[in-house]
Amino acid sequence: MKKITSVCPYCGAGCKLKLVVENNKIIRAEGAEGVTNQNQLCLKGFYGWDFLNDTRLLTPRLTRPMIRYEKGGKLTPVSWDEAIRYTAKRLSEIKAAFGPRAIMTTGSSRGTGNETNYVMQKFARAVLNTNNVDCCARVCHGPSVAGLQETLGNGAMSNAISDIEHSKCLLIFGYNCADSHPIVARRVIKARQNGAKIIVCDPRRIETARIADQHLQLNNGCNMALVNAFGYVLIDEHLYDREYVLKHTEGFDAYWQTVKDFSPESVEHLTGVPAQQVRQAMRTFAAAPSATVMWGMGVTQFGQAVDVVRGLSSLALLTGNLGRPHVGVGPVRGQNNVQGACDMGVLPNQFPGYQDVTDPAVREKFARAWGIDAALMDDKVGTRITEVPHLALEGKVKAYYIMGEDPLQTEADLGLVRSGFDALDFVVVQDIFMTKTAEAADVILPATSWGEHGGVFTCADRGFQRFEKAIEPTGDVKRDWEIISLLATAMGYPMKYENNQQIWDEMRELCPLFYGVTYEKMGDMGHIQWPCPDLDHPGTPYLYLHSKFDTPSGKGKLFAAPWRAPAEVPDEDFPMVLCTVREVGHYSCRSMTGNCAALQALADEPGNVQINGLDAEKLGIRHRDLVWVSSRRGKVISRADVSDRINRGAVYMTYQWWIGACNELTQDNLDPISKTPETKYCAVKIEPI
């Protein structure tokens, strides 16, 4: 029996664990003394590994390469040589016929690791010569990256998960940590026990609201109005830190010109939050000696998400809650390595280490290191994954190489996404399970899973952590970066790596932000937060120390925008709002957690639609009844979960389920900057069956 150090593959909390292995089978997981989790794990950490052993899986594990030689034909098992030859040939033909930008690629925010994401973006840029590489950050915290990079200089959490419990006030906006990051929720509880004031802004009475000092139960789709009202109160009641604002920020006058129209009294009808509650919340927030603003996808999955992120960071700036311990801004990333995928340049606008693709000097640096002519490098921002269906239908994207993502389950408006896929000439899926997207592939490249390879993940607080291989894989599978390297070589760009560390060290040499994060420094249990520019640098627990921001002026930028209504509001035909949410037992597209016996037992049937008791009564629906949920785009069956914790006029569904998939209903109104879809708001109707 042996114990292998790993990092949980599910959420951005980055919990360290030990996989106990006997005869090449995992027999249990134990919490380890990680910086973020201190021996604790949630259900997914404890029970989320048995898909690696179980031979009775719900979804078949991919164990050999397959090709569908003709559209509409069957997937045929082939050798690796044939799979690589055929894929390289088809991609080369499409590149020659339609140009590099006709090919889209993705990295993965799941169990594959930073090294693979680095290699994937290198493949896109050096071999295909396109910046068309993206990841699921686009549909979750893309707005946090775009908003914070502009206002503060970095798109990530400014402090550490372990620091949350020391803050004396937590403003938690659109973030249900109990379901999405249970170990972060534990820090929130500890903060409460340490005397922190908790302010929760959420339309539902979520778990955290039960321990909050104040729960501001705002109407769905009104985030910007409430954030502006917060800013109004801070200035109107002279609660803001005038000296800090003068010294460390810019844009105050323009900020006031916008928020002065958003007094809590004037927007009460819109937000649904009594003005006195808004004023009291800001009095509490401003009076705290230290405060942290945390948010989740209740902020980012809207058509006006980037503006709200900028507005939230402005609240921290107005009150001087940046640049020192126990304060900051915390967009808590969803999947376990979505921060890492962004760090590694799986973004259409940035190379690894957040270096802009539009900067000729940066392109020259990477071209030299990769041994290609800089003139071959794409000098324009590439395509985002949410733009692919539209561009495919317009004939501008012809091929899609998808690694460890399942857009046919997780993207908004699945009818549109399916039409986009139907218009593509060639789809390659590299994954571990026969997902919905894999079912639509022309080529399947089976990869090793978390547990079957090692590497480095970045958790939500910028902390790099190593994880190790625990068992030998079964089946004819290869490591993700090995597959990409074979493809690159077959397309005329020789690429060969011996191991993860070789890739990591190549990446470090090109990224000043990460240069000091060596394998040795991370060691077994280390958690090194970037920036870490030198070999003897310990990492950076708090960004912007002494309030020196990474913006062009060195100052934090205050920002407000008028509120914009969501794209599709309820009407007579579709009178309720649908909002997509998380559930505690499953993660993302559920391909991994859905194949774990204990987690499957926890939630074992198509998802629920959460509805308020009075709304249900009016519709003649009882708790656990099967119901139809329909929007202008589709209709799905679900089971009613009647609860007084749900606000009236809205219903909530989790998006992990293949039957009752709520993304059949959602719509793809994109934020104009981040191109993130508005999956938190569309109009639906509910009918008893």
Of positions 21, 45, 452, 608, contacts ligand SF4 by CB under 6 A: 45
15 sits near ligand SF4 (criterion: CB under 6 A): yes
13 sits near ligand SF4 (criterion: CB under 6 A): yes
Q: Which of these, 78, 119, 81, lies nearest to 453 by C-alpha position?
A: 119
For the bound state, the minimum distance from the C-beta of residue 64 to ligand SF4, rounded and expressed in Å, comes to 30
Q: Which amino acid is at 169?
A: C
Per-residue tokens: 62: 């991919």
8 sits near ligand SF4 (criterion: CB under 6 A): yes
Assign 485 to helix, strand or coil.
Answer: helix
Of positions 44, 90, 453, 466, contacts ligand SF4 by CB under 6 A: 44
| Span near ligand SF4 by CB under 6 A; candidates 10-18, 315-323, 446-454, 478-486 | 10-18
Of positions 41, 170, 377, 522, contacts ligand SF4 by CB under 6 A: 41
223 sits near ligand SF4 (criterion: CB under 6 A): no
The DSSP secondary-structure symbol of 207 reads G
10 sits near ligand SF4 (criterion: CB under 6 A): yes
Span 616-675, contacts to ligand SF4 by CB under 6 A: none
For the bound state, the minimum distance from the C-beta of residue 36 to ligand SF4, rounded and expressed in Å, comes to 8
For the bound state, the minimum distance from the C-beta of residue 375 to ligand SF4, rounded and expressed in Å, comes to 43
Give dist(CA 195, CA 189) in Å, integer: 10
For the bound state, the minimum distance from the C-beta of residue 326 to ligand SF4, rounded and expressed in Å, comes to 22
With respect to ligand SF4, which residue has the nearer C-beta, 226 or 459? Answer: 459
Give dist(CA 330, CA 294) in Å, integer: 4
**What b/e readout covers 638-656, taking b as 16+ CB neighbours within 10 angstroms?**
bebbbbeebbebbbbbbbb
Give dist(CA 215, CA 212) in Å, integer: 6
For the bound state, the minimum distance from the C-beta of residue 37 to ligand SF4, rounded and expressed in Å, comes to 6
Per-residue tokens: 431: 């994954």
Of positions 181, 333, 398, 469, contacts ligand SF4 by CB under 6 A: 181
| Span near ligand SF4 by CB under 6 A; candidates 37-45, 117-125, 553-561, 670-678 | 37-45
Q: Which amino acid is at 484?
A: I
Strand partners, 631: 634
Of positions 19, 21, 32, 42, contacts ligand SF4 by CB under 6 A: 42
Is residue 14 within 8 Å of residue 333, measured between CB atoms? Answer: no
The dihedral formed by the CA atoms of 299, 302, 308 and 309, expressed in degrees to the nearest 10: 60
182 sits near ligand SF4 (criterion: CB under 6 A): yes
With respect to ligand SF4, which residue has the nearer C-beta, 182 or 606? Answer: 182
Nearest residue to ligand SF4, using CB?
45
User: What is each CA distance from 629 to 305, 582, 626, 636, 648, in whole angstroms?
Assistant: 26, 18, 10, 5, 16
With respect to ligand SF4, which residue has the nearer C-beta, 190 or 283? Answer: 190
11 sits near ligand SF4 (criterion: CB under 6 A): yes
| Span near ligand SF4 by CB under 6 A; candidates 3-11, 159-167, 236-244, 347-355 | 3-11
For the bound state, the minimum distance from the C-beta of residue 293 to ligand SF4, rounded and expressed in Å, comes to 21
3-state SS of 537-601 is CCCCCCCCHHHCCCCCCCCEECCCCCCCCCCCCCCCCCCEEEEEECCCCCCCCCCCHHHCHHHHH
477 sits near ligand SF4 (criterion: CB under 6 A): no
For the bound state, the minimum distance from the C-beta of residue 498 to ligand SF4, rounded and expressed in Å, comes to 30
Gyration radius from the chain CA atoms: 24
For the bound state, the minimum distance from the C-beta of residue 481 to ligand SF4, rounded and expressed in Å, comes to 23
With respect to ligand SF4, which residue has the nearer C-beta, 10 or 118? Answer: 10
Give dist(CA 136, CA 537) in Å, integer: 31
For the bound state, the minimum distance from the C-beta of residue 179 to ligand SF4, rounded and expressed in Å, comes to 10
270 sits near ligand SF4 (criterion: CB under 6 A): no
For the bound state, the minimum distance from the C-beta of residue 159 to ligand SF4, rounded and expressed in Å, comes to 18
Of positions 67, 102, 135, 183, contacts ligand SF4 by CB under 6 A: 183
With respect to ligand SF4, which residue has the nearer C-beta, 41 or 306? Answer: 41
Give dist(CA 117, CA 480) in Å, integer: 9
Strand partners, 429: 402, 444
With respect to ligand SF4, which residue has the nearer C-beta, 6 or 131? Answer: 6
Q: Which amino acid is at 675?
A: K
| Span near ligand SF4 by CB under 6 A; candidates 104-112, 181-189, 636-644, 652-660 | 181-189
With respect to ligand SF4, which residue has the nearer C-beta, 42 or 120? Answer: 42
Give dist(CA 60, CA 45) in Å, integer: 22
Annotate 386-423 with DSSP letters as a single string. GGHHHHHHTTS--EEEEES--HHHHSS-HHHHHHHHHH
Other beta carbons within 10 Å of 247:
11
For the bound state, the minimum distance from the C-beta of residue 541 to ligand SF4, rounded and expressed in Å, comes to 19
Q: Which of these, 113, 659, 101, 640, lies nearest to 338 by C-alpha position?
A: 113
Q: What are phi and psi of 552, to 5 degrees?
A: -55, -40
For the bound state, the minimum distance from the C-beta of residue 659 to ligand SF4, rounded and expressed in Å, comes to 24
Give dist(CA 524, CA 6) in Å, integer: 9
For the bound state, the minimum distance from the C-beta of residue 264 to ligand SF4, rounded and expressed in Å, comes to 35
Element spanning 97, H or E: helix 80-98
177 sits near ligand SF4 (criterion: CB under 6 A): no
- Per-residue contact track with ligand SF4, 321 to 340, x per CB under 6 A? --------------------
161 sits near ligand SF4 (criterion: CB under 6 A): no
Instruction: Kindly state the number of chain residues that form the binding site for ligand SF4, as judged by CB under 6 A.
Output: 14
Q: If you search the block for the tokens 């590489």, which residue do you land on?
A: 133
Give dist(CA 48, CA 350) in Å, integer: 33
For the bound state, the minimum distance from the C-beta of residue 65 to ligand SF4, rounded and expressed in Å, comes to 31
Strand partners, 478: 447
Give dist(CA 480, CA 434) in Å, integer: 16
Of positions 5, 6, 37, 300, contacts ligand SF4 by CB under 6 A: 37
For the bound state, the minimum distance from the C-beta of residue 15 to ligand SF4, rounded and expressed in Å, comes to 3
Instruction: List residues near ligand SF4 by CB under 6 A.
Output: 8, 10-11, 13-15, 37, 41-42, 44-45, 181-183
